[in-house]
Amino acid sequence: MPYSFNLFRNYGLRVGFQGIFGMLVNKRHILLSIICIERRFYGLNFFLVALSVYLDDRLGEVFALFVLTLAAAESALALALVTTYFRVYGNILLINQ
């Protein structure tokens, strides 16, 4: 059974929206927020690659590589910020209760 574009499109959008939903629900823990941002990037990449395969165009795959580079830079910056935040405050919670 050949897979349709709608299946891959829905999967990419689902992963992206799970990242957005995770950002909205989780406002306390900074590492989970960063992971949710990464999920948004991965959902976008999956959608772009599926779209480029469907349209038989390599531009979406090239753009997905640029998004992966942006995600890697964002992860490195976030890790540096979390490390600094932990050294200053002693924990990584955004909201202390």
pLDDT at 5 (0 to 100) = 87
Q: Give the structural domain span for 27.
A: 5-89
Q: Rounded CA gap, 71 and 69, in Å? A: 5
Whether the predicted model's global pTM rises above the 0.85 cut: no
Task: Give backbone dihedrals phi and psi of 43, rounded to 5 degrees, phi first.
Answer: -65, -40
Q: What is the overall mean pLDDT for the chain? A: 88
Tell me the C-alpha distance between 34 and 88, whole Å: 19
- The number of folded domains in the chain is 1
CATH number for the domain harbouring residue 52: 1.10.287.3510
Neighbours of 45 (CB within 10 A): 22
- In a domain, residue 17? The reply is yes
